[in-house]
Structure 1
Amino acid sequence: MNKTVQLEDLGTKDFKETWDYQEQLFKAILDTKIKNRRENAGLETNNHFLFVEHPHVYTLGKSGDLANLLLSEDQLTAKGATFYKINRGGDITYHGPGQIVGYPILDLDNFFTDIHKYLRFLEEVIILTLAEYGLETERSPGETGVWLDVGTPFARKICAMGVRASRWVTMHGFALNVNADLGYFDNIIPCGIRGKGVTSLNTELDRESVDESEVKTKILKHFEDLFEAQIYQRSKKISKLK
């Protein structure tokens, strides 16, 4: 099993361009698996991890309700935002500046074949990362993602998640609010969940901003530990940072 993961930080990149790129990587892994099955080729499948920040965009999962988008097409344009209905699970969410988006494109045959476990591991990566900033975050029963103050009137989500999987190959992933403009969430019913708020790391820490590169390093450290993976970038392994 190949537990190495190729990291790419795409910087700021259009959502549709990134989605197309994800699909290319996803298809290449599937093609290798099909070749292995048909020809007993014994080829190794690759794993990828993309970091990206998107310009303002709203995305709706395949089972989502369009009524959870509270803007017309003209209003979207006025706010400089775009909208896409996409092929992940979950309902509607927002991506934009100040948010760390992570797209693991993995062959889970290299790790474990359990989508429920995969989602719980992604949540745990974020929970452990935020604990390093002194935040006690948790899961909310029946609601994928990472939350604060679950079970209280002040429950609020800090990280949304939605994935697609086929033949144990994953795509899409998580969106962690670090220095996000939370006003953009007012234009949707986030994840289709009414009566619960959204927050960002800088808001919780009462800081103007948080170092996003530092947060990414912590995410990668916990991802490596939980998935027992080795992350590489440009043919160089990223050493585990304390």
Structure 2
Amino acid sequence: MNKKVQLINLGNKDYKETWAYQEELFQSVIDTKISNRREEKQDETKNYFLMVEHPHVYTLGKSGDFENLLLSEKQLEEKGATFYKINRGGDITYHGPGQIVGYPILDLENFFSDIHKYLRLLEESMILTLKDYGIESGRSEGETGVWLDVGTPFARKICALGVRASRWVTMHGFALNVNSDLGYFDNIIPCGIRGKGVTSLNVELGVDKVDETEVKRKIIHYFAQLFEAEMVS
């Protein structure tokens, strides 16, 4: 089992280009697995972790509802945002500047064969990262992601999750609001969930800007710890 994970920092990159790159890596891992089984080989499968920040974009998961996007095509243009219907789970979400997005492309059979455990560990890496900033967060039953003040009228989401998996290989991932412009969430019903708010780390800390490089370091640290992975730059 190969527990090395290649960390690739893409900086600020267009969503569609990043999605194509994800698909390329995802398919390469699947192809190795198919070849191993067909030819009875034992070639190691590779694991990747892409970190990126996107220009303003809305994405809708395969089971999502178009009505959760509250903007017309013209209004999207006016806001400088794009929209894509994509092949992950979940409903609609927003990506943009000030948000840390992570796309782990893992062969889970290198770690464990349990997609629910995978999602819970992704959430846990965010929960532990936020705890380092004095922010207590957790899970909301039946609602994937990381939340604050769960079970109160003030429940609000700080991190969204949406993944795709095939042959135990994952793609897509998480989006943590760090210095996000939360106004962009007003144009959707986030994750298709009505009546619950969205927040970001800088808002919760009451500061103008949080050091995103430091947040990334913490996420990577906890991810490596939880998955017992060796991160390779």
Interval containing the TM-score (normalised by the shorter chain): over 0.9
Equivalent residue number for residue 30 of structure 1: 30
Equivalent residue number for residue 104 of structure 1: 104
For 2:192 and 2:108, locate their aligned partners in 1 and report how far apart those are by CA, in whole Å: 28
For 1:13 and 1:114, locate their aligned partners in 2 and report how far apart those are by CA, in whole Å: 30
For 1:176 and 1:124, locate their aligned partners in 2 and report how far apart those are by CA, in whole Å: 13
For 1:207 and 1:40, locate their aligned partners in 2 and report how far apart those are by CA, in whole Å: 56
For 1:86 and 1:101, locate their aligned partners in 2 and report how far apart those are by CA, in whole Å: 16
- Please give the residue correspondences for 1:207-226 in structure 2 after superposition, counting only pairs within 5 Å: 207-226=207-226
The alignment status of 1:165 with 2:165, answered yes or no, reads yes
Equivalent residue number for residue 44 of structure 2: 44
Partner of 2:152, secondary structure, is: coil
Deviation at 1:156, TM superposition (A): 0.1
Q: Deviation per CA, 1:213-241, whole angstroms, max 9, x where unpaired?
A: 000000010001000000001xxxxxxxx
Equivalent residue number for residue 6 of structure 2: 6
Matched residue type, 1:58: Y
Partner of 1:117, secondary structure, is: helix
For 1:225 and 1:13, locate their aligned partners in 2 and report how far apart those are by CA, in whole Å: 27
Matched residue type, 2:133: Y
The alignment status of 1:231 with 2:223, answered yes or no, reads no
The alignment status of 1:129 with 2:148, answered yes or no, reads no
Q: TM-score, normalised by structure 2?
A: 1.00
What is the root-mean-square deviation of aligned Cα atoms in Å?
0.3
For 2:110 and 2:14, locate their aligned partners in 1 and report how far apart those are by CA, in whole Å: 30
Matched residue type, 2:227: F
Which segments of structure 1 move beyond 6 Å, counting only runs of 4 or more? none
Structure 2 unmatched runs, 5+: none
Q: Deviation per CA, 1:48-106, whole angstroms, max 9, x where unpaired?
A: 00000000000000000000000000000000000000000000000000000000000
Q: TM-score, normalised by structure 1?
A: 0.96
Structure 1 unmatched runs, 5+: 234-242
Matched residue type, 2:95: H
Deviation at 1:41, TM superposition (A): 1.4
The alignment status of 1:83 with 2:96, answered yes or no, reads no
Equivalent residue number for residue 152 of structure 1: 152
